[in-house]
Amino acid sequence: MPVAIICIDKSDSLDLRLRTRPEHLEWLKQNLPDGTFVGPLLHDDGETFKGSLYILNFSDCEQAREWINQEPYFKNNLFENVIIRLTKNILPLKQTKSSE
């Protein structure tokens, strides 16, 4: 079942995020469950990091909580707040036609 994990960075934590990023990316390569979205949350300028968003498949919120607790950003105390909520996609994504 899809679970949204919304993580908000602590203020003034850009240096910690950048230092931890290689470990974070490598860990994701090894531990990423099926899902639909993994990426940063950005400030209104579209460039400055604000947090992380994951929409991944877990059996329940507890399994998602156990997963995020092992994530390097979480383990390195980057996040001020983590919200974990069940979700569902009510409208399928539109498929774009590729030019052949």
- Say whether pLDDT at 99 is over 60: no
What is the residue whose two structure tokens read 């400030």?
43
Confidence of residue 66 (pLDDT cuts 50, 70, 90): very high
CA distance 72 to 28: 9
Q: Output 21 or 99, whichever has higher pLDDT.
A: 21
pLDDT, one tens digit per residue, over 13-38 is 999 999 999 999 999 999 999 998 99
DSSP conformational letter for 87 = -
Instruction: Quickly list DSSP for 59-77.
Output: SSHHHHHHHHTTSHHHHTT
* Residue type for position 27: W
Alpha helix ranges (H) inside 1-100: 14-31, 61-68, 72-75
pLDDT for 90 equals 87
Tell me the percentage of the chain whose pLDDT exceeds 90. Answer: 86
- pTM for the whole thing? 0.88
**How much is the average pLDDT of 4-21?**
97
Q: Which CATH class is domain 2-86?
A: alpha beta
Whole-number pLDDT of residue 12 = 94
